[in-house]
Every structure is written in C-alpha cells, then in structure tokens.
Amino acid sequence: MLKAYIETFQKYKYLLENLIMRDIKVKYRRSVLGVAWSLLNPLLMMFILSAVFSRVFRYEIENFPLYLIIGQILFSFFNESTSSAIFSIVEASSLIKKVYIPKYIFPLEKVLFGFVNLIFSIPAVVVMMLFYRVPFNLSMLTIFLPLLTLLLFAIGFSLIISALCVFFRDLKHLYSVLITAWMYLTPIIYPMSALEGSWIWYVARINPLTWYVESFRNALIYGTMPDLLSCWVCIGYGVVFTLVGLLSFKKLQDKFILYV
C-alpha cells in the first residue's frame, strides 16, 4: 500500500506543488507586505498575548514572549492545516466528479501549505532569540525532529478527519470546539508545572502537541538535547497517525463519490 501511495505521489507531485502555490498566491494577493506577514503576524500576536497573560498569570517563565511565540506558531500550524483539511474533500467535490485525482492530495496539500507558512514564521522566533540573546548551541539542530514528526502527525490526523467529514458534515463545526479545547490543553501560555497534582496534567501529558511544543522549546530556549522518551513519543505519534490515516482514508475513499 505504501509503495502505491509513493508512486501516485510522484505522478501527481506537480499538481500538489501547483495547489500549494495557488493557496500562497491567494493568501497574499494584494497584500502590501506579502509573505512578510508570516513574520509579523506571530510577532504581533505574541506582543498582545504576552501583554495580557503575563499579567493574568503569575508563572515564573523566563523570556515569556519567546516561550509563548514557540508554542503559538506550532499550534497555529496544526490548527490552520487541520481546520483547512477537514473540509478539503467536500470543497473539491466538483473536481473529483470530473477527473481522476488521488483524493488524499487535497488534505495533504492543506497540511503542506500550513507547513510552508510555519517555515515562514520561524524567523519570528529567531528575532526573539536574538532579542533575548539566547546563545547558540548544538541542541538547536534537533528542532527538525519535532517539526517533521509534527508534520507527519498533522498529515495523518487530517486524512482521518477529512475522510470522516465527507460522511458527517457536522464534524467541521464540532472540530472548531475541539481545537479550542485542544489549545488550552497544550502548554502554550502556561508551564506544565502549573497543572501538577490535577487530572488535567495527565490529559495534557498524553496530548501529542505537548510533546512537540516542549521538544521544540527545550532545543531552542533551554539548550537541552531531546531525551530518548521524547524522541520516541514524537516519532511514534507521527508514524502511527500517518499509517492509521492512510489506512482509514484508503478504506473510505471509494464511498466519497456517493456523498460529495
């Protein structure tokens, strides 16, 4: 099965690239600053959120704006990509009915487009690191592990929810509630230590996004090399969800034409 997906991907890679470029052009069409908004947007959101939450919460978090922006851009990528992917099959129904295109291309394109925006946002983190004079260390080279495994996790998760949404359209509306709850269960604006002693700590700990955010933060802010557990958890969530996503999508895709 995996070999078939790879062969199909190679055949339709050009289409995928064009769809991503189309979304980039649509997003920044008639924008004066263009792609620069990918740098400015997380910085502006960081200033607003840090101004509010640094006063509301009394956690002793060193370089809180930097701590905040890292969690913010990673969660924004997951939120943006999955929220776009969930309805991607339904939105492409007219095209699906006319010509043969591998249906997984549509949720995959939304996730990859979100990942491109995430890469564009990384310079905002670099700006904050320079501002706080965070020293360079070798652990920073390990950020590719949480980034790439988060990409895999987002792809697998998007394949699952985009397939289910074809049959249950209300899932799109339910997901907006779910993703909001998911955000608060991810240590973006607070440290994990704030949850110790409560059942929410255990929920947040099994949350895949917690592992990706903390691994990314540890590498950039604290100069900590990823431990073996973090590596395996990040890889495990990414690989398992990708495989489950591919299998479930393959099982359901033949019925899409009856519902779109």
DSSP character string of 163-216: HHHHH-TTHHHHHHHHHHHHHHTSSSSS-GGGGTTSHHHHHHHH-HHHHHHHHH
Domain limits, the chain: 60-258
Residue 196: predicted pLDDT:
78
The dihedral built from the CA positions of residue 125, 127, 132 and 136, taken in this order, carries a sign that is positive
Q: What is the pLDDT of residues 13-35, one digit of tens each?
A: 788 888 888 887 777 666 555 66
**CA 216, CA 71: separation in Å to the nearest integer?**
9
Q: What is the pLDDT of residues 95-117, one digit of tens each?
A: 888 888 888 999 999 999 999 98
What phi-psi label fits residue 4: left (phi over 0), alpha (psi between -120 and 50 degrees) or beta? alpha
- Rounded to two decimals, the pTM is 0.90
Note down pLDDT in tens along the chain; length 260 residues: 666 666 676 777 788 888 888 887 777 666 555 666 666 677 767 767 666 666 666 567 778 888 988 999 999 999 999 999 999 999 888 888 888 888 899 999 999 999 998 998 888 888 888 888 888 888 888 899 999 999 999 999 999 999 999 999 889 889 999 999 999 899 988 888 878 777 778 888 899 999 999 999 999 988 888 889 999 999 999 999 999 999 999 899 988 887 77
